[in-house]
Amino acid sequence: MGNLYIPECNNGILVINGTYYTSRQLDLDNMNSEAKKGVAKEIYNYTKNNPITVLILNFKVNDLYFYKTETQLSIICNILDLILSNNMTPFTIDINENLFYYNHKLNSLITKLLAKNFTIKKAKIYLHHSLHNKDKE
């Protein structure tokens, strides 16, 4: 396993970033949806086993993104869905540093989490130029 990155909760802040995925040599872009759900479940387990106030989710390693935007979106939606469906105590979820495009599922999950008093930081959800019309297809 060598340099396996184990996320730690520091002062209530839990960061899951690209180092988490790359240290496990996860080929997220080529995983099927069930395998991606398994990765999301592993990350969710960190949230339920730590007293967190802020969860930061991104895919950056040294300012580089290692996975496709669609993959990032899938993993984030799976994590948010698990948090939503397990009636957790509300906390802040920061998904600012991702290359998302407009997506109905993501927006629906965010709306439902906000209704349950979660705080979602999503100000920097970028419109990735190559996926501009993805939802219109």
Q: Where are the domains of the chain?
A: 9-136
At residue 125, does pLDDT exceed 90? no
Taking the C-alpha atoms of 109, 53, 18 and 104 in order, what is their torsion angle to the nearest 10 degrees?
A: 10
Length of the chain as a residue count:
137
Q: Which is nearest to 118 in space by CA: 101, 98, 95?
A: 95
At residue 137, does pLDDT exceed 60? no
Q: What mean pLDDT comes out for the span 15-41?
A: 92
With bands split at pLDDT 50, 70 and 90, how would you rate the model's confidence at 41? very high
At residue 2, does pLDDT exceed 50? yes
Complete DSSP assignment for 31-78: --HHHHHHHHHHHHHHHHTS--SEEEE--EETTEE-S-HHHHHHHHHH
What is the C-alpha separation between 117 and 91, in angstroms, rounded?
A: 8
- As given in the structure block, the two tokens for residue 23 are 């240290």
Q: What mean pLDDT comes out for the span 44-49?
A: 92
Q: What is the pTM of this model?
A: 0.85
Per-residue pLDDT tens digits for 100-123: 677 889 989 999 999 999 999 976
